[in-house]
A and B are shown apart, each in its own frame.
Chain A
Amino acid sequence: MSYRKAFIVSNALMLAAFIWAFVKDFRAEWRPYQAKYYEMSADVLEKQAVAAKDPKKAADLKAEARKMRRSPLEIKQIIVGDLGRFDRCVTCHVGMDEYANPTLKNDFTENPYKSHPKVDAALVKAHPFTKFGCTSCHSGQGLATQVEPAHGWVKHWEKPMLKGVHIQGACVKCHGNFETLKGAEVAAAGRKLFNSHGCQGCHAINGWGGVMSVDLGDIADKPFERIAGYNFKRVKIQFEGDKAPRELANEHHNSEWNIQNWILGHIVNDPAEVTPNDPFAHLNAEPIPPSGMANFTKEIDREGADAIVAYLSGQTKEEKIPYRYHVPAPAPKEPALTGAAHGKFVFSKYGCQGCHGIDAKQGRRRFNAAGEGQKEFDDKLPEAEKFKSMNIGAEPTLPKLVGTYTQEELIKKIEGGVPAIETKKWSAKGPMPMVYMPAWKGKISKQELADLATWLRSIAVKDDSGF
């Protein structure tokens, strides 16, 4: 082609490319939603105008409708400086914008046109949008003006919108008193379950609880980089509309790979399957046991699991919530109990049921500890068979264990703990059990220990000798 032709063609192409870029930018995702809202609102006003009896009122309504239809399209945002939030949600969700929709109510039924639910409820009235924005409760990516990115269901946004009851985690962030708060019932239930099933026996929350595993006081901030992809892939959850539990969709950093589903996966799946590690030393110099967390699938149902997830979704340290937004909790009061009843309370206060089961009825597994119900150890067994036996482990069922202890011996045992190295392993070549009895000396007070020992001995299984 001659240079003259190339000159014309290249200039035409540049112009075309620029127009294409401009048009692509101009046709932003939010525009049609906002335009449609104005159309729909104008239609409603016109209907009202037609139905109005008073001609002056009809004329006003008509004028309002006209103005509404001609509203300029713009990006709207709610700026909450104190919380560092710049939420552009109202660009599409115009019904929730107090300037475009002063009553904050409308009759539309679909998102993004419908207004915010329960605007008359105390909950919403107590949290005006100008002071809180949207994302401080709902999470998501406030800065975005496209659908998927704004909801946070995209790569590299670590705080996607909270689904369903998980949103109550947002209450926990500011409300120290969430356990008695109307509207945070699910999160309160989650806390109750967390304590009643003994989770804090291994997982401290802000220092209160056991040290065997990670402190969950900042679990909502856990970055994806700290979750091994090969374990996340093993989580199976059944969502609404699914027939059976399934793997989470879209690898890494996407809508279903989020911290809520990671926590959920630990409760609705067997943690030893989610994090199996390397018990037969295939990839490591030594065998590494699977996760020491017990299997709660039979103990906690899906509703309970979601409640726990809601509670834990509020455990964040990254969000620096200003003092004025914080609602302090009333001082916790322990029930006035004595003797064995007090001992039973102490048992659940410190999370002992995390390993010893609720009310000490049935202990939880310890991988590769020698115990009841296991096959005889035989090195020639296939790995799957070995794994089954190792997985049962020795369950420290206290009624069966404490019968022969005196009061002093039992207190000493609890104070001193039982190191894992003293465990008899089912497979000598296998890994050391992950969980052990920690030393409680200095952590449980003398009176509490005495009452605890009293209660434990009272529920011990009596053998024939009547001990």
Chain B
Amino acid sequence: MPTLDIEKIKKEIIDSQIWRSVFRGGLWKDTPRDRAGHIIGNVWLHLHPVKVRPRALKWAYTWGMGGISFALYLSLTLTGVLLMFYYRPTIGLAYQDIKDLEYAVTLGMFLRNAHRWAAQAMVVAVIAHMVRVFLTGAYKKPREFNWGIGVLLLTLTLFLSFTGYLLPWDQLAIWAVAVGTNMAGATPVLGNEGPLGSLVGMRINNDVRFTLLGGTMVGENTLLRFYVMHCVAVPLVVGILLILHFWRIRKDSFSAAPYEANEEKVDVWPHLVKREYIGAAGTTIFIMIWSILQNAPLEAIANPNVTTNPSKAPWYFVGLQELLVYFDPWIAGVLLPGLIIVGLIAIPYIDTNPKGIGTYAWKERPFAIILFMLGIVMWFTLIAIGYSLRGPNYAWYWPWESWASLKAAPAATWSVFGPKGVGAYSMLIGIPLIGGLMGGSILAPKLIQKELSGKLVMGGFLAAVAALAAIGMALGKMGATEGAFLLFFLGASFYFGFVLPQRHIRTLDWPRYLVTMVLVVCTMGILLKMCARLTFNIKYLLTIPSISMNI
């Protein structure tokens, strides 16, 4: 039997005219020149540098989340395009087509599952990437703009997930989107139900919600618009921003990890490329196995006349929906998300601490890390509550309680300041009082020039609150749970809103200080309003019904 000389055959193929015309360059040798050639000569790889610092490669440093996000994005694009062959975006056919994918299309269920689970995983990966970049200070100069692009990409990822959610046209889809778009209707000025909206002529058929839905309610037009946005418009924008994002990574000299003495760069081929491959392969295996084992949910066909009880937004928005218990839609759905996005983008510009770029510097960046992680913890706690602890009529159901069991009607609520008959006290007192409190909280840490002892101040404050709670309990005005709420929320607000800033940022210049403190005080405002509701059953601190302004 003639032996096959593999090497000879390989050489003949690679040296042939056909091969060389396609792939440019003949047989690779494992030399530095050829390793560089792999990168420079390949259109898909040539955004990479040829050499990279070994510190930048460590999994423990990068977590690989950026690459995993991109791998998920690519797999979503692939599965998404395949799904488009069997899906028609009209309300008469959409649900039926999803059923077809489930029962009649070869690998249809697998494809649908892969698309759904990759979408969920991508939201998690993108947030994890943001957390990692923050913790390694890799948003500081000169990477501020790239961080901003990243925040936009996060918002667009959530928007892609939101628009995709509607496409199966089941009860889950229609009511999740109804909740979300009703929040858009509560936008100040631009929404017909938001503060000042009716004053500028916004009605249900010309406000920003109308253009999002293509109508006055979630219907045929909405499905088509969301389909176009989900499959074409937003992926194009995301693609453009991704190009920009990768370009800036390269131009900002790739990794933020600080240079070490005598540091030798290593070749990207194979060292970076192999890690990227393993990351992408691992992600793919994870999604494939998840898709085989668990089916994506599909409820009954969308019925605009029947609201599911409870009707919840998708998990990544259910934290905001939980905030709807405490705030009006214009705050929970528009103002707070807007502040979050603006606040995130502002971070690189208000953070002047030169330490901790490229390292996990817990001790050197206490203020930044504590407050950022507070935001992340609050976000996921609200998601956990909204997802697992809210049942029919949005009442509180512990995980072991069946949703079929009856719950008592909620206690009556009251408003503190407002016009006569609506608020307990006049709003003429309320507006300056609340304004003053907010302004005072913003200015106080900087105005107190000396650094106060955290333990003393904190201890004193907690003691005062405990005393107040004890008096309240003795008078019969509140129970033990309310007292505990009071202690917890007021204590946390005081610590994060006064003690920490007082210690760390009172030396910041005024513009940066004000921006930071406004964001901090708004975050504390969330905690304080939750406290007000849970302890005293306060619905609104200040309500001005004539302009739909309720805080």
Does chain A have a CB within 8 A of B45?
A: no
Residue of B nearest to A277 (CB): B406
Q: Is B408 part of the binding interface, using a Cβ–Cβ cutoff of 8 Å? A: yes
- B474 within 8 A of partner (CB): no
Q: Which of B100, B110, B406 contacts A143 (CB 8 A)?
A: B100
**For residues 384 through 442 of chain B, which have their beta carbon under 8 Å from a beta carbon of chain A?**
392, 402-409
- A11 contact set on B, CB distance < 8 A: 281
Closest to B406 in A: A230
Residue B359 is within 8 A (CB to CB) of chain A in the complex: no
Chain A: minimal CB distance from B434 (Å)? 32
A21 sits at the interface (CB 8 A) = yes
1/0 contact trace for B307-320 toward A, CB 8 Å?
Answer: 11100000000000
Interface string of A200-233 (1 = CB under 8 A from B): 0000000000000000000000011110111011
CB-CB < 8 A to B405: which residues of A?
Answer: 230
| Docked complex Cα distance between A366 and B300 (Å) | 38
Neighbour of A88 across the interface among B104, B281, B307, CB < 8 A = B104
A229-B403, A283-B407 are known contacts. Are A143 and B274 too (CB-CB below 8 A)? Answer: no
A74 to chain B minimum Cβ distance, whole angstroms, is: 10
Are the CB atoms of A283 and B408 closer together than 8 Å?
Answer: yes
| Bound: A78/B99 CA distance, A | 16
Interface status of B451 (Cβ within 8 A of chain A): no
Knowing A17-B285, A24-B292, A285-B409 are in contact, say whether A146-B103 is a contact too (CB < 8 A).
yes
CA distance A266 to B277 in the complex (A): 62
- Is the CB–CB distance between B402 and A251 below 8 Å? yes
Taking a contact as CB atoms under 8 Å apart, the answer to whether A225 and B307 are in contact is yes
Does B282 have its Cβ within 8 Å of any Cβ on chain A?
A: yes
- A13's closest neighbor in chain B, by CB? B285
Question: B281 is contacted by which of A10, A22, A155, A251 (Cβ under 8 Å)?
Answer: A10
Q: Quick check: is A18 within 8 A (CB to CB) of the other chain?
A: yes
Contact string against B for A residues 77-100, beta-carbon threshold 8 Å, 1 for contact and 0 otherwise: 000000000101000000000000
CA distance A25 to B285 in the complex (A): 17
Report the separation of the CA atoms of residues A138 and B309 in the bound assembly, to the nearest whole angstrom.
29
> What's the Cα separation between A141 and B103 when bound, in Å?
11
Chain A residues, CB < 8 A from B285: 10, 13-14, 17
Q: Is the CB of A22 within 8 A of B107?
A: yes
- Distance between B325 CB and nearest chain A CB, rounded to angstroms: 20
B409 touches A3 (CB 8 A): no
Q: What is the bound-complex CA distance between A251 and B278, given in angstroms?
A: 44
Contact A252 B404, CB 8 Å, known A146-B103, A225-B308, A285-B409: yes
Kindly list chain B residues whose C-beta atoms are within 8 Å of the C-beta of A146: 103
Q: Does A424 contact B (CB under 8 A)?
A: no
By the criterion CB–CB under 8 Å, are A157 and B278 in contact?
Answer: no
**A155 to B300, alpha carbons, bound, how many Å?**
8
Question: Considering only CB atoms, which chain B residue lies closest to A142 in the complex?
Answer: B99
Cβ-defined contact, B106 with A25, below 8 A: yes
Min CB distance, A230 to chain B, in Å? 5
- Check: B232 CB closer than 8 A to any chain A CB: no
Return the contact of A18 from the options B99, B288, B309, B406 (Cβ within 8 A). Answer: B288
Q: Does A158 contact B (CB under 8 A)?
A: yes
Question: Would you call A232 and B404 a contact (CB within 8 A)?
Answer: yes
| Contacting pair A14 B281 (CB below 8 A) | yes
Q: Is A156 an interface residue (CB 8 A)?
A: yes
What residues of B have a CB within 8 angstroms of the CB of A224 in the complex? 300
Is B96 within 8 A of A143, CB to CB?
Answer: yes
Among residues 354 to 408 in chain A, which have CB atoms less than 8 Å away from a CB atom of chain B? Answer: none
Q: Which residues of A contact B (CB under 8 A)?
A: 3, 6-7, 10-11, 13-14, 17-18, 20-22, 24-25, 75, 86, 88, 141, 143-146, 149, 155-158, 223-226, 228-230, 232-233, 251-252, 282-285
6 A-B contact pairs sorted by A residue (CB < 8 Å): A14-B288, A86-B96, A143-B104, A157-B300, A230-B406, A284-B409
Q: A3-B274, A252-B404 are in contact. List 17 more A-B contacts (CB 8 A).
A: A3-B278, A10-B281, A14-B281, A17-B288, A17-B292, A18-B288, A21-B288, A143-B103, A145-B104, A149-B103, A225-B308, A226-B306, A228-B404, A229-B402, A232-B404, A233-B404, A282-B408
